[in-house]
């Protein structure tokens, strides 16, 4: 029993920490895809966010903001990625580009631009390492709760709690507000929405820019809490995994929360299986591919059918039917 508990005390915090960037980015993808715009570019938005987060933190550190710098870095990342996502928005909404192709181009562009700037500014392929990180905290009273305390309230990042709080906000916004209703209607049946006087394209722009903001936050949180600096290899695949989280979570905020924790769990198992009794004999590769295999199975309907918004990946032209 003690062995199992000790394993959980290692794995659960690690899983929640790994889940945080995925969750934030997937929530971003939710806004975009609920409005009918596929966002394969989440990876690129995370890259831009990681870049903005690290460069922002370095800048605010240098002018003396101290421990506040990483938080301001995250804000920089959110703004930068929201603006950057306009590339995808304009191409896929105004110019009616294939949304998947435009997302792929966004990924290329993010990596090219950020590494280019880093090389020009720092003279090498990576930035300096930030000194004011967001550190793990142990919540004073809650961590003393037996069983749960050491799992959920010890050595955690504040960002993880914030992200989980945001899930509830996103759920409320998407399902309980007029804005959310309009956003979803645009993703399901844009022509009907248009008939009701809803500005289809404007809502889609908002959806994509929100995905930029959230994706930027996800990338920045990953870079600031886990990596500490930015290079071309800081974000490798987390954006695609966030997309998988979104699909696995059936385009629902709570679904995404569950899927993100699950994927975080798989990641944490992959990195710490070697230290765990009973799991060290299982090759790491099984844990590495687990999230991807499960996503495929989920899509094929073996783990419950996931239905995307109906108008996903179709540009809206006024007057067409």
Partner 1 sequence: MLKGRFFGLIVPLIAITFGFIAGAIIMLLSGNNPITGYVALFQGVFGDTYYFGETLQRMTPLIFSGLAVAFAFRAGLLNIGVEGQLIVGWFTSVYVGFTFDLPMIIHLPMALAAGALAGALWGFVPGLLKARFEVHEVIVTIMMNYIAMHVVNSIIRTYFIDSAQRTEIIAPTASLASDWLMQITQFSRLHWGFLLAIAACFVMWFILWKTKRGFELRSVGYNKNASAYSGMSVKGNIILSMSISGAFAGVGGAMLGLGTYQYANILPSFTNYGFDGIAVALLGASSSLGIFFSAFLFGALKEGANNMQAAAGIAPELVEIIIAFIIFFVASSYLIRWIYSRLQSKKGAK
Is 156 an interacting residue with respect to partner 1 (CB under 8 A)? no
- Looking at the DSSP bridge assignments, the partners of residue 156 are 137
Residue 119 and residue 230 in contact, taking contact as beta carbons nearer than 8 Å = no
φ, ψ of residue 219 to 5 degrees: the values are -65, -40
Contact with partner 1 (CB under 8 A) among 47, 91, 203, 213: 91
Is 283 an interacting residue with respect to partner 1 (CB under 8 A)? yes
Tell which positions 297-316 bind partner 1, by CB under 8 A: 299-301, 308
Tell which positions 209-238 bind partner 1, by CB under 8 A: 232-233, 236-237
Residue 289 and residue 166 in contact, taking contact as beta carbons nearer than 8 Å = no
Q: Which residues of 186-209 are buried (b: 16+ CB within 10 A; e: fewer)?
A: bbbbbeebbeeebebbebbbbbbb
Q: Helix 238-248 and helix 284-299: axis angle, to 10°? A: 40
Is 83 an interacting residue with respect to partner 1 (CB under 8 A)? no
Site size toward partner 1 (CB under 8 A) is: 46
Distance CA 176, CA 291 (A): 31
3-class secondary-structure state, position 137:
strand
Distance CA 133, CA 21 (A): 16
Name the segment binding partner 1 (CB under 8 A); options: 5-13, 128-136, 187-195, 284-292: 284-292
> Min. distance of Cβ 295 from partner 1 in angstroms?
5
Tell which positions 237-276 bind partner 1, by CB under 8 A: 237, 240, 243-244, 247
Tell which positions 17-46 bind partner 1, by CB under 8 A: 40
3-class secondary-structure state, position 1:
coil
Q: Which spans of this chain sit near partner 1 (rule: CB under 8 A)?
A: 40, 87, 91, 94-98, 100-102, 104-109, 111-113, 115-117, 119-120, 232-233, 236-237, 240, 243-244, 247, 283-285, 288-289, 292-293, 295-296, 299-301, 308
């Amino acid at each position: 029993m003690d062995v199992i508990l000790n394993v959980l005390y290692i794995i659960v915090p690690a899983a929640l920490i790994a889940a945080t960037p995925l969750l934030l980015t997937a929530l971003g993808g939710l806004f975009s895809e609920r409005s009918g715009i596929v966002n394969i570019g989440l990876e690129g938005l995370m890259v831009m966010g990681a870049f903005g987060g690290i460069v922002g933190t370095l800048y605010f550190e240098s002018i003396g903001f101290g421990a506040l710098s990483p938080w301001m870095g995250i804000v920089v990342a959110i703004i930068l990625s929201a603006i950057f996502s306009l590339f995808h928005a304009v191409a896929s909404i105004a110019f009616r580009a294939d949304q998947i192709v435009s997302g792929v181009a966004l990924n290329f562009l993010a990596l090219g631009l950020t590494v280019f700037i880093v090389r020009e500014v720092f003279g090498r392929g990576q930035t300096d390492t930030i000194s004011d990180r967001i550190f793990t905290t142990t919540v004073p009273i809650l961590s003393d709760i037996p069983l749960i305390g050491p799992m959920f309230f010890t050595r955690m990042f504040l960002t993880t709690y914030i992200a989980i709080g945001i899930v509830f906000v996103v759920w409320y916004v998407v399902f309980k507000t007029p804005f959310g209703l309009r956003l979803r209607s645009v993703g399901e049946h844009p022509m009907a929405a248009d008939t009701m006087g809803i500005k289809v394209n404007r809502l889609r722009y908002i959806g994509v820019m929100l995905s930029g903001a959230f994706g930027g936050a996800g990338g920045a949180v990953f870079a600031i809490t886990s990596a500490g600096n930015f290079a071309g290899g800081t974000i490798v695949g987390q954006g695609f995994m966030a997309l998988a989280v979104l699909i696995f979570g059936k385009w629902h905020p709570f679904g995404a929360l569950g899927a993100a924790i699950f994927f975080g769990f798989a990641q944490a198992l992959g990195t710490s299986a070697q230290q765990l009794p009973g799991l060290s004999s299982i090759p790491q590769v099984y844990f590495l591919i687990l999230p991807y295999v499960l996503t495929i199975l989920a899509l094929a309907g073996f783990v419950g059918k996931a239905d995307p918004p109906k108008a996903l990946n179709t540009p809206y032209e006024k007057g067409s039917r």
